[in-house]
Amino acid sequence: MNAAPAPHRRGLAQRLSEAQATIEALLSGQIDAVVDSKSATPVLLSRAQDALRQSEEQHRQIVEATTDGIMKVDALEKIVFVNGRLAEMLGYEAQQMIGMDVSTFMSASARASMVNTFARRPVGQDTLDTVLRHKGGTAISVNIAASPLVDGEGQRIGTLGMVRDVTERNKLQSQLMVSDRMASVGTLAAGVAHEINNPLAAVLGNLDYVAEILGGPARGASTSANPGRSDAWLIEEIRGPIGDALEAAARVRLIVRDLKIFSRSPSDEPKSRVNIQAVMESSLRMAWNEIRHRARLVKLYGVVPNVEANEGRLGQVFLNLIVNAAQALPEGHAEQNEIRVSTHVCDGRVVVEVSDTGAGISPEIIGRIFDAFFTTKGVGVGTGLGLAICHRIITDLDGALTVESTVGKGSTFRVVLPIPRPEAIEEAAPAVEPVPSPGRRGRILVVDDEELVLRSVKRLLSKEHDIVAIAKAKAALALCAGGESFDLILCDLMMPDMTGMDLHSELSRVAPEQASRMVFLTGGAFTVKASSFLADQAQEHLDKPFSPTTLRAVVRRHVQ
Amino acid sequence: MAKTKPKKPGAKTGLLLRLYVAGNAPNSLRAVANATAICEEYLTARYELEVIDLLKHPNRALADGIIVTPTLLRLRPLPVQRVIGNLSDTNQVLLTLAGQ
Ligand SMILES: Nc1ncnc2c1ncn2[C@@H]1O[C@H](COP(=O)(O)OP(=O)(O)O)[C@@H](O)[C@H]1O
Ligand SMILES: [Mg+2]
């Protein structure tokens, strides 16, 4: 081994220059290890540095990757550090913000309340909902979680703040509130529909009855069923008003039906063959108030087969598209603008289009309009959910929802739906009124707690059949149990005391043959039990309000 | 790390170099590579390059008065010369090696 020259043999100048070189090498990061001459152990610099660098890098990454803004301010409320997110939130470069006074983006009142918060809780963390000012002037709702920074002596040297942008959260919350509200409106609507249907059934039934008498056989053929026929003048006088009343009542019936469609909960969504035109008409009626001040409505219905869908959901899609079309048009120039709905078959699929001559959609945003929460409309007008929901509903049906738009010219939304297998296509044509055949005189029991319904059914049927009308299911049960027999039992489903379902199960025990002859009269809202009852037993039922024709058709089927 | 890498073994008169490094630390690896390259490229005379790992032989480092690594010592001819750092400045290394 070579003898190493002792360090002290080197000259002072040389040692100085070596010291200089060592320092330079250290500073330029060229040194890996330092020998601690006292303990004779090498201290690895590089590893320590790497570890430091790594942990620094890790922290930096965390600080920059977090979705929260982070700021550190000194005791004079000047910015010492901000991360990229906070800078972005406020519209600055992070570097620009160093040294900036907090008041630049935080109002005096917000700062005051923050100071108060901290005065109450000088240690630990506290949060504060407040508003920050973007460089461009807009207000940003934020939640700040701030912790005081203290030095070794417990002296307050600044504040560390985590700033969360809650604009989205607030939006979501109000969104939830909207859907909550929609859900309760739905429940309410179903309830109202039910309440209205009972009296409405009576109104329609009685009006139909009167109209029948008025427009009945030639005058003078007086029967006991049409008193007042002798007074020709009176008949002429009331024919018009009765007609109007009938029309109005029919409209109420449509409105109630619309309410029912739009109040169904998404969980029970049975699909069936749906007549597109009928659904579109119902949606147009609902949106009519939005449309009429803004545009002419043009309807081009081609002949299209029924599609397999949930009626309510499809109605929701059309309604959304129509309302969007209307909202794209200014109010008050109805004659200059047009909303056009059309249906046709193309390439073996059903195509439904909703077009408007409105503002159109710019290419920059057209890719985002189907995104949930994307809206260009103000608070309270748009939720940004409409198209997203439409898209989901249509995709669920194996269909497609597309858009074409020209800025300044207008937009066309196109719903394309598959045509169900041919063998399964139902009759699309409306039920043709069968020619009434005289048939035999039947014996019919009507059970309904609504006196008005009882009376109108009785009135409509008593010419051709013997009607027993009873308001209580218990009495009806007693009658049947006592050996009375009927060709048909028309029974309300929902009744206090004993329901139609209860009557059915009792009858199944004591008079099964009679139970099989029950047809249920149903109002708007079903309980879960009621709808599964109807589904399970494949029970025949008649929706209130029913037309005399439908009622007579049912009766005819049972009284052969 | 290998203790010696005599390029032209047996010579007692040529250049004697000793490089102190710290394991596989980045600057140390660089210094070894640089030293080898410089020797092969520029040193026409006989030379001997010894690489010593400070982590394995701390006492030798102390004996040679090493404070930091990498450090390259020119032990022969005298006087002893030192280059500190990863030897990336070839000119400076050559100047020192040629120094009187
Ligand atoms: N017919 C249309 N004409 C112009 N823009 C439309 C039309 N339909 C939708 N849009 C644009 O798409 C966005 C999203 O629509 P939507 O999901 O229904 O939400 P919202 O109507 O609540 O804003 C609208 O804010 C609007 O910018
Ligand atoms: Mg919308």
φ, ψ for residue B87 (rounded to 5)? 65, 25
For residue B87, what is the nearest residue in chain A, using CA coordinates? A30
Contact list in A for residue B21 (CB cut-off 8 A) is 32
Residues 6+ apart with CB under 8 A from A223: none
User: Which tokens hold the place of A511?
Assistant: 């008079």
Secondary structure of residue A119 in the 3-state scheme: helix
Write the CATH number of the domain with boundaries B15-97: 3.40.30.10
Identify the residue whose C-alpha is closest to ligand 1 atom 9.
A324
Chain A residues 21-50 with CB within 8 Å of chain B? 21-22, 24-26, 28-35, 37, 40-42, 44-47
Q: Is A412 in the pocket of ligand 1 (CB under 6 A)?
A: no
User: Which tokens hold the place of B60?
Assistant: 């030798």
Instruction: Indicate the burial class of A520 (C-beta count within 10 angstroms; 0-12, 13-18, 19 or more).
Output: buried
Residue A136 β-bridge partners: none
Question: How many whole angstroms separate alpha carbon A413 and alpha carbon A351?
Answer: 10
β-pairing, A338-346 with A296-301?
A: parallel
* Amino acid occupying residue A494: M
CA–centroid distance for A43 within its chain: 66
What is the Å distance from ligand 2's center to A328 Cα?
Answer: 10
What is the number of H-type helices and E-type strands within chain A?
A: 17, 19
**Residue A186 near residue A265, CB atoms below 8 Å:** yes
Q: Determine the distance in angstroms separating the CA of B1 from the nearest CA of chain A, rounded to an integer.
A: 16
What is the Å distance from ligand 1's center to B10 Cα?
Answer: 89
**Residue A40 near residue B21, CB atoms below 8 Å:** no
Binning chain B into helix, strand and coil, the percentages to the nearest 5 are 30, 30, 40
Whether residue B17 lies within 8 A of chain A, CB to CB, comes out as no
Write the CATH number of the domain with boundaries A66-165: 3.30.450.20
Interface probe with B: pick from A32, A44, A47, most Cβ of B within 10 Å: A32
Q: Determine the distance in angstroms separating the CA of A52 from the nearest CA of chain B, rounded to an integer.
A: 15
Identify the residue whose C-alpha is closest to ligand 1 atom 21.
A382
User: Which tokens hold the place of A171?
Assistant: 């939006």
Contact list in B for residue A42 (CB cut-off 8 A) is 22, 54-55, 58, 61, 69
Q: Determine the distance in angstroms separating the CA of B94 from the nearest CA of chain A, rounded to an integer.
A: 15
User: Which tokens hold the place of A53?
Assistant: 């660098």
Contact B27 A46 (CB under 8 A): yes
Q: Is A492 in the pocket of ligand 1 (CB under 6 A)?
A: no
β-pairing, A541-543 with A79-82?
A: unpaired
Q: Which ligand is nearest to the CA of A357?
A: 1
Identify the residue whose C-alpha is closest to ligand 1 atom 1.
A325
Q: Which ligand is nearest to the CA of A370?
A: 1
User: Which tokens hold the place of A406?
Assistant: 């020209």
Question: How many whole angstroms separate alpha carbon A371 and alpha carbon B53?
Answer: 63
Question: How many whole angstroms separate alpha carbon A503 and alpha carbon A203?
Answer: 27
Q: Determine the distance in angstroms separating the CA of A41 from the nearest CA of chain B, rounded to an integer.
A: 7
β-pairing, A79-82 with A69-74?
A: antiparallel
Question: Of A442, A463, A453, A438, nearest to A542 (Cα)?
Answer: A453
**N-to-C CA span, chain A:** 126
Q: Which ligand is nearest to the CA of A367?
A: 1
Whether residue B15 lies within 8 A of chain A, CB to CB, comes out as no
Instruction: Give the number of C-alpha atoms closer than 13 A to the C-alpha of residue A246, restricted to the C-beta side.
Output: 17
Chain B residues 18-57 with CB within 8 Å of chain A? 18, 21-23, 25-28, 54-55
Q: What are the C-alpha distances in Å from A339 to residues A244, A322, A323, A325, A389? A: 30, 8, 10, 7, 21
Q: Is the peptide bond before B77 cis (omega within 30 degrees of 0)?
A: yes
Q: Determine the distance in angstroms separating the CA of B92 from the nearest CA of chain A, rounded to an integer.
A: 11
Q: Is A171 in the pocket of ligand 1 (CB under 6 A)?
A: no
Contact A25 B84 (CB under 8 A): yes
Picking from B25, B60, B62, the nearest residue to A46 by CB comes out as: B25
Secondary structure of residue A394 in the 3-state scheme: helix
Is ipTM beyond 0.95? no
β-pairing, A272-274 with A296-301?
A: unpaired
Residues 6+ apart with CB under 8 A from B82: A18, A21, B71, B72, B73, B74, B96
> What CATH fold (topology level) applies to the domain A443-558?
Rossmann fold (3.40.50)
**What does pTM read for this prediction?**
0.37
Q: What is the per-residue pLDDT for A490? A: 94
Contact B62 A32 (CB under 8 A): no
Q: What are the mean pLDDT values of chain A's consecutive 10-residue runs (560 residues total)?
A: 48 75 80 73 64 72 84 87 91 91 84 65 68 86 83 79 81 59 58 78 87 63 48 80 84 69 52 91 87 93 91 88 93 91 93 96 88 76 76 84 93 95 48 53 91 87 90 92 91 86 91 90 69 73 83 86
Instruction: Give the number of C-alpha atoms closer than 13 A to the C-alpha of residue A305, restricted to the C-beta side.
Output: 20
Q: Is A356 in the pocket of ligand 1 (CB under 6 A)?
A: yes
Domain A272-427 has CATH 3.40.50.300: no
What residue segments make up the domains of chain B, in order of their start?
A: 15-97
What is the Å distance from ligand 1's center to A360 Cα?
Answer: 10
Residue B16 has pLDDT above 70, yes or no: yes
Picking from B62, B68, B78, the nearest residue to A34 by CB comes out as: B68
User: Which tokens hold the place of A217?
Assistant: 């056989």
Contact B83 A32 (CB under 8 A): no
Chain B residues 62-91 with CB within 8 Å of chain A? 62-70, 75-76, 78-80, 82-86, 88
User: Which tokens hold the place of A104?
Assistant: 């630049």
Identify the residue whose C-alpha is closest to ligand 1 atom 18.
A386
Residues 6+ apart with CB under 8 A from B92: B83
Contact A32 B75 (CB under 8 A): no
Contact A4 B25 (CB under 8 A): no
For residue B29, what is the nearest residue in chain A, using CA coordinates? A32
Q: How confident is the model at residue B26 (pLDDT cuts 50, 70, 90)?
A: confident
Question: Of A29, A375, A373, nearest to A176 (Cα)?
Answer: A373
What residue segments make up the domains of chain A, in order of their start?
A: 26-65, 66-165, 272-427, 443-558
Picking from B18, B27, B78, the nearest residue to A30 by CB comes out as: B27
Contact B66 A30 (CB under 8 A): no
Secondary structure of residue A467 in the 3-state scheme: strand
Question: Of B98, B71, B65, B99, nearest to B85 (Cα)?
Answer: B71
φ, ψ for residue A18 (rounded to 5)? -70, -40
Question: Of A326, A323, A317, nearest to A280 (Cα)?
Answer: A317
Work out whether the CA dihedral A212, A213, A214, A218 comes out positive or negative: positive
φ, ψ for residue A141 (rounded to 5)? -75, 125
Q: What is the per-residue pLDDT for A338? A: 95
**Residue B7 near residue B49, CB atoms below 8 Å:** yes
A152-159 — which CB contacts under 8 Å span 24+ positions?
Answer: A156/A75, A156/A122, A157/A74, A157/A75, A158/A72, A158/A73, A158/A74, A158/A75, A158/A80, A159/A72, A159/A73, A159/A77, A159/A118
Q: Which atom of ligand 1 is least distant from the CA of A383?
A: 22
A155-158 — which CB contacts under 8 Å span 24+ positions?
Answer: A156/A75, A156/A122, A157/A74, A157/A75, A158/A72, A158/A73, A158/A74, A158/A75, A158/A80
